[in-house]
Structure 1
Amino acid sequence: MRFHHPIRRSTDTGLGFAAQAALLIVSLLALSGCTERTDPMIELSGPTMGTYYSVKIARPPEGLSAETLEPELIQVLDAVIAEISTYDPTSELSRLNANPSTDWIPVSQNLLTVIAEGQRIAELTNGAYDVTIGPLVNLWGFGPERRPDRLPSEAEIQAARERVGYQKLELRDSPPAVRKARGDLYIDLSSLGEGYGADRIVDWLESRGVTDCMVAIAGAIRAKGLNAKGQPWGIAIEQPLPDRRAVHRVIPVSGHALSTSGDYRNFFEKDGKRYSHEIDPMTGAPVDRQLGSVTVIGDVGMIVDGLATALMVLGEERGPALAEVQGIAAYFIVREGEDFRGIASPALQTYLDMAAQASSAALTNTER
């Protein structure tokens, strides 16, 4: 497998230990309870977007194999990178960011779709989430530019904030185009990219006749159908620990997308303080709260990916409040000293109750 320019910087170099460990956790839990697997399974994994991907196909259609699927899978991933990567200077998004025009700039329908979802979440959160946050992401060293040896000054933060604001970006559906109020507006779609990539892979697999699969790009996951034992795919929610990996709980997923955003993997430390890649557009600085991670479940990977980031920025009080009002199925893990407290939104609890009932019914049918 080859390495790609990442969409989001990882604290690892290439497919490092953390990514491999995460891949192992997903691999094991996707097959939870499957010690005697009876149905055939195709498994593909490797580096992409500065992180990793994992694809598992249960009961693949006749004629499909890892060898035949892998080249096509790489093409799908390369197409996503060519659309929305800020690390690839030739990508469509990089060309858009480099264009100083304040007139309408034509874009592809795919790129417009991703940006439009970002704008929708920005409006939903009153700007706590913002796809124009690129200048701040780069200033703090979480973008393609090399991280500086010092923390940014207040003047630098203010200068970057002046270039940020989702209201500075206008979209047009037909023909697809965007218009920037400032020519130096810089769009960063990292918080949507992994989920978007998982969606594209699932669409491609469906076109090949696949009905049962689990696709993961880092913390963004799409699961369809059942695993090799005819059970929902078991997806782990980790405890937000920066120095090791431990499972907080496992959620059964079938026919849904799941994405987790947290402050415990992509960060740097300076003078004894940790700075997360989750940046608040309102302050221009990384969030500093007790909230360790947010997991969101829904139908579309791109949407839950963006919502997980948005709720993470909102924090342990405003995040659950918005999730309850908007009916978002979200699970929050809050640090309380050395312990963790889980907060399930009403929609998430309903999902868990339904999943438990379905699992119990399946078990009963098996025992008959």
Structure 2
Amino acid sequence: MKETTYSSMILVGNIILPWQKRSKAGLVASLLFLVLMGLSGCSSDSEKYSFSGSTMGTSYHITVVSGSGVNVSSLSDQVQRRLDQLDNIFSTYKPQSELSRLNSTEVGQPFSLSPEMLDVLSLSQELYQATSEAFNPAIGPLVDLWGFGPMPAGEQLPDDDQITERLLMVDFSQLVIGENESVAIKQRPLQIDLSAVAKGYAVDQVAELLEAKHFHDYLVEIGGELRLSGLNQQNEPWRIGIERPALERGAAQEIMSLSDTGLATSGDYRNYIDRDGVRYSHTIDPLTGKPVINRLASVTVIHPNAASADALATAFMVMGESKAMQYAESENIAAYFIVKDDKSFSERHSNAFNVLLDNVNEKIKN
């Protein structure tokens, strides 16, 4: 094996990627990740194979490390087909997507669910309850009201009457999954938006596809949500950098080594509106109907599956620093918080986050 030195840095995330044009989804604030590949170390006999594409209004990037060769064209086609299937299920922009058809179904009318939709709705309902409604996929009417949906914000902020009216539309418990788990029934009009969990779920589905093809060393990224498995080309855990908020893109606040896990981030420091000198975050509190006001700039959650990490990162931004940390500690969740101070940022970690990094670092030493 030959010694290698730092050779490349790949920026991945759903803000802007080196291989990506800016899209609407690229304006949605999420933490930018720096995947550091090719840091000093011994390179293995394995080769790195990478490909990318577009899905769910954003981009994706896949890296596979293999010693037996990879038909990149065939694998890329299979991944794209799977992502197209998922986009046709979860898209809120496609009129004939499964989610759009569910949203247009009349109250009380049974709606047949695909296995994928059942997976995501079941997880969403579980986390809706577990987070005391901080994670709420029915919040779309409030997001639209504040101008963070398809239509841009107007000059006038919503008034209390408008907010109260929309709050009546966001009770996610009014979606009931039937006992046979093949149908869902809305007990009240709902407009469900699964964007805070669907990309993470898609990441997990691509990871399952790769595992089925007997690939075990890979990185899957869709719009900033990640699954990391095995080792990189240097026989080391994947190196991930968390971007420093409000500074130049690509400046890392924290760099960590990770493997065999999912990771997602939610942040409010790039997607907001200004009105009369006041900054309003794109993260809406589903209990008040208003943008959250807390000190969190971003939250990164590390979880065995990217779908849960995706949803929990959103929920933690709604909860705020104190409640989110309490929840992370009580549920043993690895979470990393970047907190806004007067003129700078500080960081906090849950105990599970520290233990996870200690375990990975110990493996590296051995």
Scaled by the length of structure 2, the TM-score of the pair is 0.87
In structure 2, what is the equivalent of residue 52 of structure 1?
Answer: 59
Q: Select 1:84's aligned residue among 56, 81, 90.
A: 90
Instruction: Calculate percent identity across the aligned residue pairs.
Output: 36
Question: What stretches of structure 1 move > 4 A for 4+ residues in a row?
Answer: 9-12, 17-20, 25-28, 34-38
8 A Cα contact 1:82 1:88, kept in partner = yes
CA contact (8 A) 2:44 2:235 kept: no
Residue in structure 2 matching 1:71, options 67, 70, 77: 77
Distance in 2, matches of 1:330 and 1:195, equals 16
- For 2:16 and 2:61, locate their aligned partners in 1 and report how far apart those are by CA, in whole Å: 19
* Mapping for residues 310-325 of structure 1, pairs under 5 Å: 310-325=315-330
Give 1 or 2: higher helix fraction: 1
Deviations 1:307-333 (A, max 9, x none): 111111100111101111111111111
Residue of structure 2 aligned with 1:356, choices 340, 346, 361: 361
Cα distance in structure 1, aligned partners of 2:83 and 2:339 = 33
The residue number in structure 2 matching 1:266 is: 271
Q: Which residue of 1 aligns with 2:112?
A: 106
Q: 1:159 to 1:32 in 2, by over 3 A?
A: farther
Provide the C-alpha distance between the structure 1 equivalents of 2:248 and 2:272, rounded to a whole number of angstroms.
12
Q: For residue 87 of structure 1, what is the amino acid of its counterpart?
A: Y
Q: Distance in 2 between matches of 1:326 and 1:225?
A: 25
Gaps of 5+ in 1: 1-8, 362-368
- Tell me what 1:303 maps to: 308
Alignment partner, residue 126 of structure 1:
132
Q: What is the aligned counterpart of 1:216 among 207, 214, 221? A: 221
1:237 is aligned to 242
Residue 202 of structure 1 is aligned with which of 202, 207, 212? 207
Aligned to 2:22: 16
Q: Which moved more, 1:271-280 or 1:73-82?
A: 271-280
Q: How does 1:244-283 map to 2 (within 5 A)?
A: 244-283=249-288
Instruction: State the shift of 1:11 in Å.
Output: 9.2
Residues 206-256 of structure 1: CA deviation (Å, up to 9, x unaligned): 122211100111221000110001100111211222763421111211111
| Paired residues, number | 348
TM-fit CA distance, 1:41: 0.8
Question: Retained in 1: the 8 A contact 2:169–2:190?
Answer: yes
Q: Which amino acid aligns with 1:324?
A: E
Distance in 1 (CA, whole Å) between partners of 2:274 and 2:282 is 11
Query: Deviation string for 1:179-226 (max 9, x for gaps)?
Result: 2121x2111111101111101111111122211100111221000110
In structure 2, give the amino acid aligned to 1:333: I
- Provide the residue aligned with 2:197 in structure 1: 192
Q: 1:332 to 1:28 in 2, by over 3 A?
A: closer
**Distance (Å, rounded) in 2 between the aligned partners of 1:254 and 1:121:** 25
TM-score (normalizing by structure 1):
0.87
Question: 5+ unaligned residues in a row in structure 2: which ranges?
Answer: 1-13
